[in-house]
Every structure is written in C-alpha cells, then in structure tokens.
Amino acid sequence: MKERLDHKELEERIAKFWEDEGIYSFRNDGPDKVYSIDTPPPTISGLIHLGHAFSYSQADFVARYKRMRGYNVFYPFGFDNNGIPTELFVEKTYGTTAEKEGREKFIGLVGGETAKFAEMYKSTWRSIGISVDWSLLYNTISEEVQKITQLSFIKLYRMGREYRMLLPTIWCPKEGTALSQMELKDKSLKSRFVTISFSDQIKIATTRPELLPACVAIFVNPDDTKNSVHVGKIVKVPIFGHEVKVIADRRVDMSKGTGMVMCCTFGDLTDIEWYKAYGLELKIVMDRHGKMLPEYFGGRKVREAREFVIEDLRKRGCIVDEKEIVHSVNVHERCGTEIEFLVKKQWFVKYLDMKQKLIELGRELEWNPKYMQVRYENWVNGLQWDWAISRQRLYGIPFPVWYCKKCDAPILALESDLPVNPMKDMPKSKCENCGSSEYVPEEDIFDTWATSSLTPLINARWGLDGKYMDSVYPMSLRPQAHDIISFWLFTTLVKCYLHTGKIPWKSVLISGHGLDSKGMPMHKSAGNIIEPRVVIEKYGADSLRHWASLSKLGDDASFQEKDVTSGARLVNKLWNTARFISMNDGKPEVKTRIMDRWIASRATAVMEKVTEMMEEYNYSGAKREADAFFWFFCDNYVEFIKYRLYGGDRSPIKTLREVFLIIIKMQAPFMPYITEEVYQELYMKQEGCKSIHISKWPGRGDMLVDPDALAAGDEAQKVIAYIRQWKHDRKIALNAEISEVVASKDFGELEADIRGAMNIRKLSKGHATSKVEGTDVSIEIMQ
C-alpha cells in the first residue's frame, strides 16, 4: 500500500468502479426489502454550492446505511428545470425573455441549457459520492413529467377538487407579463400624496387618484374614534359618482393620511385582501400594459391619467391637501417598473375542507426531527385560501384545457393524448355543456409546485408505465430542508394523498442549511458561494462529507474549514491504520488474549450504539461515536499490541483485522471512498464481496462480548494512562524504559501487556500507595 493517499486519483478510480459495477443499481423485483428515497430535485439555475453538498450528503448517509442493511435501495435523481429560477437563469444566459421567444422555442433553450448543466451537476453529485442510481433520472420539464402533471390536473378536476375563480395577479405593465414575488424588489419612490374630499366629512389621502373609478369601498379602523362614526355610511365617489360603503377593518393605519383609505381593485395587496374578505365588487379600469381602459381618462397611461385626474379634481375643488412623499413600492426587479394587478380567472385546488384530514395524515408520518411536525401543523391550521395552481407566465407546463367560446365551460384533453399544448393542439371533443365546437385555449401554465408535488408519483412512473408503483410507493423517505415544509412537503402530501389515498412516504428527514463560515446562506448576490468542487479538490469528498456529518439533523451548519481538515486527518489515519495492518498481515492465529477480547467487546458495544443511532436517523451521533472509537482504538489497542507483533507474536492479528473492519463499516456511509479502498485492499477477498457499500452491516452475534475482559482491559488501560502521565510529568520519553512498577494487585495475563505497552522491565505485586483514578489499583513506579 502506498505511503501517501492521493484523494483525487482515489476518488476518480473508485467513482468509476461504482458506476461500472452498478453498485447503486435498483433491482425492480418487487416490494420486498425496498428502501425508496424521494430525492429533492435541485433547481437548475447555474448554482451549486456547499449547501447542496451538506443536505444531499445527509440523505446519502441514510441511503448507504440502508444498502448495507440489505435493503434494495431506490435512490433516484431529478433536475427541477420547470420553475422560475430556471426561466430567469436561461433568460439571463441568452439575453432574451420567454415572452420574446415563445413557449416552444424557450423550452428548447431550457432543454439545451439543462443538458449542459445536468452534466455539471451530475459530475458534482457523483464526486461528492451521492449514491444515486443515475438510470432513474428525471427532469421536471420533460414530456413524461408534463404528462404526469397534466394527468394529475385532469384527475383532480374529475374528482371535483379543482375550480376556477377570479384572482388578481402581480403584473409588470411594461413587459406585459405576470410576475412572481421572487421577481419583485422594493424601491423608494417619490410620490404625490393627495387628499381628496369625497364629502364634507370624508377626506381620503392617496397616491393613486387615477384609481378613483375602481374605488369599491372606504375603510376606517374600528378603534378610530373620529372616523369610525362614518362606518356604514354610503359615500359618492367624486367625478364618477358611484356609491361605496364605509367599512371598519383593523388593517387600516389610523396615523396615515386622514385615517381613511379607499379600496380600489386593485392598487395594492391590501386591496386584494379586502376584496376577498368583504366580497367587494370588481371594477377593472386598466389593461395589461398599464393603460387605463378607453372609458376612463381616454385610455391614458397611468401616470398621465394621474396628472389628469388631479387637475380635474382641483377644478372641482375636491383637492384639500397635496404633498410630496417618499414611500417604498414594489417594482419589477428586471426593469424597475412599478407593478400593477391584473385580474384573471385562475385554477385552484380545493383543500381547505381537508384541513383536519391533512393534519391527521401529517401525524401518520415519522418526522425527523420530531419538532418539525409542529411547523407543518401550524401551516395547515393557518391556511386561508385554496391552492392557486395557475400562473400567467409563458415558461412551464401548460394546462391541458380549452374553454368553450360560447359558454366558457372547460374542455379537457383526453388522457391518452397527454401531454398536450392547447395553444397548438385542438380539443378532440365538443363542449359538453352546450355542444359548441368553438374554443379558446388556456394560456396559463402550472405553478412549479403543482409538478414538484408529484415527485413520489413521478419516481414511481405513475401515469406512464407505472412500473415502480408497486415496489417503491409509498416511498420510505422524503429528505428535504426545513424551509419548504409548507411548500414541497405539504403540497406533495395533498396531491399524492388525493391520487392514491395513501401518504406518499413513511418518514421524512428534514435537514438544515449549509451556510457560509459566518452563518449566512450562500447566495450569488452575497458573493459567498463556495463550490463543493473547490473543497473536494483540496481535501477530498470524504472530508467534505465529514463536515456534513457533524451537525445534528435539522440544524443549520456554518461551513468550517477546520471540520473539513479534521476529516482529512481522519482519512489519513484510516489509511495509515490500514497500512499498519497490511504490514502485519500473514496467517492470523486463532488464540486471543484479554486485551484482544477487551477491544473486541468494546467494538461490539460501539457498533450496537451506532446501529441504534443510525436507525433513528441520528447520523451525527453515530458518526461521533464511530470517530471517537477509532481514535481510541489507535491510541490504545494498536499501541498496546505493538510489543507483541514486534516480538513475532501473531495472535493480535485476528482481532486487529476484525475490529478495524467494524470501524470502516461504521465509517462507510460517511466516508465512502477511503473505506472502499481499504476494504478492497484488506477485506474484499475474505468477505467475498466486491464493495463495502453492498457488504453486510455488522450485527449482534458477529462479534464477541466478554464482560470479564471488558472490565480487566479498562483497568489495564487506565493503569497505562497513569504511567503515561507519570512519564510525562517527569519529561521522560513515553518509550523510555522503567525499571520496576509495584502494583497492589496481580494483573495476571495483562501484566505482559502493561509492561509491553509502557516498556517496564519488572511489574510485581506489592505494597503501593498511589491510587489510579477510576480503579481499585494502587501502584508505585521506580525509574
């Protein structure tokens, strides 16, 4: 074995071996002993950072452990290239927009970009040593996934779980496109705050006087003694003359303006809240490009209409106050345009009536860590609206639906035709409602969560050939981070339950985030991204995984280079121990001594503890135990038996090899490369297994438990530690010879071990006064 380990060479060679040998291949031969994992598909947005390495490693610890426990592990991988981050990323890369390119062409661009990045992502995940079966790869914009998403829509509709309702959406009037909240930013803008007199007593301050024609109500705070007297009154809107009611609501800030506010459909998000809460009238005054409709202010643009209406109001004597203010408004981050709201019919999944059931389903899941369940329940309890699944965007999966031109009834695509694009394809049937064959296509696309919420079914190939449905669904595990319990976890539970009547997984594993060294999330904009590749090149993948293994499940962890360094040291130590064993190889003798049975018994105890922790998904506890035992083994047992080996006694070899095998098996889920290398060097032939990762996890009965040896060995170890300290206090080299030690007891067989370990010429029983702490033994040392 080489003196120095070259982790780059090692990782390339071993990763290739795993792939060539299909070590992580899933065998689709029935549900027996299957462990299936609903891997999170990373978003394709051009970024891979240590946060990914952190959470994916944690799921991989579980996958590798289960594989060694004899499970047929179903561990797929997916790419999420269906969402807005991908869209924005591709738009930026090509300097274009989905609007400009059109849906078909843009999906083509995404496809090319995904293929490019998929290779990069794949190579990163491979080098981290994530043991997925790459033949189970999916991506969320693929034809197959489009088909599944559309099928889900059609089935839910037929179940009566979906409906359409008018809802405002955030809109960029400049680009004429719907926006997500992700695309908004705050901007401080100067604005004119004008106070308009509706009547003698009703004065309202607003920055949006042009929305006067869309005014549908006036709000005051019920605690506002001055203004609340007007509650219930009917007021005429200036210029337009329509009548609106004064309503009390706590969302009104009494200190702003006059304490009275007009609600228009729609000027801001509060207007939407009120509109929904009080079932107000809908008055649309603006088109999709931010122009007033022709009947209002002659179809002027918003800003011009504002000037126009202020002038008009002034002439009528309705302006009672006017001042410049600076306030924060939402703008489109790409072009800086102030957003508007556009009202459109949207699709909803109805689930508010299922709250109680959803709580119960959540309780059927095994939550790790347990407290994460509370977050889920709080979310479900706080739900106020059904789930809006349509988005007015171009890029994404289209709805498989057209509408009857005459009666607006939906015309669904045939399941056998999926996936369809209603903008290109034509419906096969006439309107079920009125028999008309004229139709208009749905232009909206699905919200990304409408697709992500199907990953267990996508993995099982539901709606396709369904070939994994029996063997992998419900899945054993959903690993994911805590920030999307309310999105991914919740929506998956909803949809999969509706489709299958079962919860989609047995357990969930909620990980934290890998943060930078200061505890900040890694973001491109923060400039604190560290790529896994960089760390792997410097320290190796095992070392990076070591860092990920140290933090408790669910906890965020800041990236500490020292933890990676200590991982590298551990790898080095494992390698050198293996070298030591290979140097002292040869035919082992069957006979053992107390010291051997001592370390073997200790190893068994540690093994049992580690196994128990792994079963509870407490990988960090398991890793700490395994690490601690390995260092203990090196510093004590290996040091204690050297005198025997050097003296030509081969009796420790058997134990040395057996215990070290346990050690590398406990480390295998965490440090797959070094353990594989050592296994192949030392144990492959003996065990008749080509990879440690499919070898058997040691169990009760494989190893010795000898309580007498355990007690005697512990005592000897403490005596040796005492003598070490004694030598140390006198600044004597640890291997320096001691002429005599007198002890209060006869160590029997262990006498030779103590003498050997500490280089003592004579060890005898006699009167001694220095007590060795933690034992009943007293000793006297004579230099």
Partner RNA sequence: GGGCUCGUAGUCCAAUGGUAAGACAUCGCCUUCACACGGCGGAGACCGGAGUUCGAUUCUCCGCGGGCCCACCA
CB of 324 to RNA, least distance (A): 15
Nearer to RNA, 114 or 655 (CB): 655
* String marking each residue 343-372 x if it binds RNA according to CB under 7 A: ----------------------------xx
Residues 326-345 that bind RNA (CB under 7 A): 327-328
Nearer to RNA, 132 or 310 (CB): 310
Residues 627-686 that bind RNA (CB under 7 A): 628, 631, 634-635, 638-639, 642, 646
Provide DSSP, 641-669. HHHHHHTT--TTHHHHHHHHHHHHHHHTT
Residue in 552, 650, 657, 755 binding RNA, rule: CB under 7 A: 552
Rounded to whole angstroms, how far apart are CA atoms 78 and 570? 32
CB of 639 to RNA, least distance (A): 6
Residue in 14, 261, 309, 411 binding RNA, rule: CB under 7 A: 261
- Residue 731 engages RNA in binding (rule: CB under 7 A): yes
Nearer to RNA, 138 or 722 (CB): 722
- Phi, psi (5° rounding) for residue 154? -65, -40
Rounded to whole angstroms, how far apart are CA atoms 329 and 323? 17
Residues 262-291 that bind RNA (CB under 7 A): 267-270, 273
Pairing of strands 738-743, 557-558: unpaired
CB of 346 to RNA, least distance (A): 16
Residues 470-509 that bind RNA (CB under 7 A): 482-483, 486-487
Which two structure tokens, joined as six digits, stand for 693? 């990762």
Pairing of strands 439-441, 475-481: unpaired
Please count the residues of this chain forming the interface with RNA, following the rule CB under 7 A: 79
Residues 512-541 that bind RNA (CB under 7 A): 513, 519, 521
- Binding segment for RNA (CB under 7 A), chosen from 420-428, 620-628, 693-701, 702-710, is 620-628
Provide DSSP, 184-248. EEEEEEEEEEEEEESSSS-EEEES-GGGGGGEEEEEE-TT-TTTGGGTT-EEEPTTT--EEEEEE
Provide DSSP, 88-144. HHHHHHHT--HHHH-HHHHHHHHHHHHHHHHHHHHHHHHHHT----GGGEEETTSHH
Nearer to RNA, 100 or 631 (CB): 631
Where are the extended beta strands (E) located within 305-365?
A: 319-332, 340-349
Nearer to RNA, 209 or 669 (CB): 209
CB of 624 to RNA, least distance (A): 6
Sign of CA dihedral 19, 24, 28, 29: positive
- Residue 140 engages RNA in binding (rule: CB under 7 A): no
Residue in 93, 507, 572, 770 binding RNA, rule: CB under 7 A: 572
CB of 185 to RNA, least distance (A): 12
Rounded to whole angstroms, how far apart are CA atoms 211 and 215? 7
Residues 373-402 that bind RNA (CB under 7 A): 374-375, 378-379, 382
Residue 733 identity (one-letter amino acid): A
Nearer to RNA, 551 or 675 (CB): 551
- Residue 569 engages RNA in binding (rule: CB under 7 A): yes
- Binding segment for RNA (CB under 7 A), chosen from 195-203, 236-244, 280-288, 718-726, is 718-726
Nearer to RNA, 135 or 378 (CB): 378
Residues 197-226 that bind RNA (CB under 7 A): 205-208, 219
Residues 82-101 that bind RNA (CB under 7 A): none
Angle at 325 between CA 322 and CA 329, to 5 degrees: 125
Rounded to whole angstroms, how far apart are CA atoms 701 and 132? 31
Residues 443-472 that bind RNA (CB under 7 A): none
Radius of gyration from C-alpha coordinates of the chain = 35
* String marking each residue 165-204 x if it binds RNA according to CB under 7 A: ----------------------------------------
Nearer to RNA, 223 or 470 (CB): 223
CB of 578 to RNA, least distance (A): 8
Q: Is 733 exposed, middle or buried (0-12, 13-18, 19+ CB in 10 A)?
A: exposed
Residue 598 identity (one-letter amino acid): W
Rounded to whole angstroms, how far apart are CA atoms 446 and 438? 24
CB of 383 to RNA, least distance (A): 9
| Residue pair 714/750 in contact by the 8 Å Cβ criterion | no
CB of 327 to RNA, least distance (A): 6
CB of 478 to RNA, least distance (A): 17
CB of 558 to RNA, least distance (A): 5
CB of 542 to RNA, least distance (A): 11
CB count in 10 Å sphere of residue 166: 11
Rounded to whole angstroms, how far apart are CA atoms 641 and 753? 7
* String marking each residue 573-592 x if it binds RNA according to CB under 7 A: x--xx-xx--x---------
| Residue pair 121/142 in contact by the 8 Å Cβ criterion | no
Residues 231-260 that bind RNA (CB under 7 A): 251-257, 259-260
CB of 252 to RNA, least distance (A): 5
CB of 547 to RNA, least distance (A): 9
Residues 402-441 that bind RNA (CB under 7 A): none
For residue 231, give the nearest of 244, 240, 241, 212 by alpha carbon. 244
| Residue pair 568/577 in contact by the 8 Å Cβ criterion | no
CB of 272 to RNA, least distance (A): 9
